Every structure is written in C-alpha cells, then in structure tokens.
Amino acid sequence: YTAWDIGISDSMAVWYFQVYDNMVHLIEYNEFENRSLIEVCHIVQMKDNLDKLDGIDPEMKQVYRQKYGHHKEYDYAKHFGPHDISTREITNKISRRSVARREGINFQPLPRTDVMDGINVARKMFSKCEFDLDRTVQGVRALKDYQKEWDSVRYCYKDKPLHNWASHGSDGFRYVAIAVTRFIDKDFLDRV
C-alpha cells in the first residue's frame, strides 16, 4: 500500500507499507519537492514509461532509475490519498485523482477526519508499527519533530499542529493510520 500527502506548493510525501501479522510494516518513505503529481506517479511505479515524461532532464531520469528503480518490484494493493484528492482544479476542472488515474495510480480517497482525531488514531497504532529505518529515515525524523503550534500570546500550545517541514511526513503517516483502520483492517485498533 501507499499513503500520500499531496502538496501543491509544499512537499509531497509517500509512505509505503504492508499490513500483516497484526503489524504495520513501513517499508519506505519518499518526499518530493517541486515535483508534479504526474512525475511522482511515475517515480512511485517506476514503470518503463519514465522516458515519456517531457520536461525532465535526462540526467534526472537516470537518478530516478538508480534511486527508485526497486519500486517496479512492488505489487501495490491500493494507493490512499487525502480526502480532497477528487476536488477539481479551478483552472482546468480536472481533479488530481483523475490526473493520477491517467498515470496509473488509482487513489482510494480517505474520509475527511478531524486532524486531532487522526493524530490520536496514529498514536494508538504506533506501538504496532515496524519501520525499515534505512528506507524511512526522513519520515521517522518528521514524526519525531512533529509538534503543536505555540501561542506566544497565551503561553500555551494551540490545538493544531505546527505547519513546518515535519508536517508532510507526519500527515502522510496519519493517512496510513486512517487507511489501516478504515479500509484495510477495521478491527486493527481493537487488538492494540
């Protein structure tokens, strides 16, 4: 499975995971800056059609092949995207979900949930997670640095997370938790 936090002006984060033996195995994490959804769809699948992408330096394509070539070995069961992935863009009336589907990624939109509720689900699930630390190091760092926003007027933390570099990986992990508990194994948290 994959769970995506799709950024437009921010980074795009992708967690790769498996669910078996009553555990969530996080096998890889990638974060992309200044990359289009089309480009990331191709990188995640690492199909031979990478050459068909226009506007990418041939040297970058070679870097992608070296860094992400193992993706073609993955047999994806499902790709999960944020709740708003089906929202159509105002400029061309095409949704990001439609763009991704055209490029071979068929997203299952996750339901809209309160951010704090999603964080709590992720916290509950965390004890049943196993991370491949070689391939998820950037995502794990994001989880460690995820924090609430500080209110300097009231001298206390606000109820919402601080939006910084750690938000993308952490939001993506929250989507992993929602995907696992709502779609993959609805009884997962009952066994935690």
pLDDT at 92: 81
Please state, in angstroms and rounded to a whole number, the distance separating the CA atoms of residues 48 and 59: 16
23-32, 44-53, 88-97: least confidently modelled range = 44-53
What is the average pLDDT value for the chain, to the nearest integer? Answer: 92
The full 3-state SS of 121-181, as one line of letters, equals HHHHHHCCEEECCCCCHHHHHHHHHCCEEEECCCCEEEEEECCCCHHHHHHHHHHHHHHHH
The residue that leads in pLDDT, 80 or 160, is: 80
The pTM assigned to this predicted structure is 0.93
Flag whether pLDDT at 54 surpasses 80. Answer: no
Structure confidence at residue 156 as a pLDDT band (50, 70, 90): confident
pLDDT at 165: 92
- The DSSP element (H or E) to which 79 belongs, if any, is strand 79-81
The arithmetic mean of pLDDT across residues 9-16, rounded, is 91
Cβ(27)–Cβ(3) under 8 Å?
no
Three-state DSSP class for residue 47? coil
Please state, in angstroms and rounded to a whole number, the distance separating the CA atoms of residues 105 and 138: 23
Structure confidence at residue 49 as a pLDDT band (50, 70, 90): low
Bridge partners (DSSP) of residue 46 are none
- The DSSP element (H or E) to which 101 belongs, if any, is helix 96-102
Cβ(168)–Cβ(11) under 8 Å?
yes
The arithmetic mean of pLDDT across residues 114-132, rounded, is 96
106-110, 136-140, 147-151, 162-166: least confidently modelled range = 147-151
pLDDT at 191: 87
The residue that leads in pLDDT, 54 or 4, is: 4
The arithmetic mean of pLDDT across residues 169-184, rounded, is 97
Structure confidence at residue 162 as a pLDDT band (50, 70, 90): confident
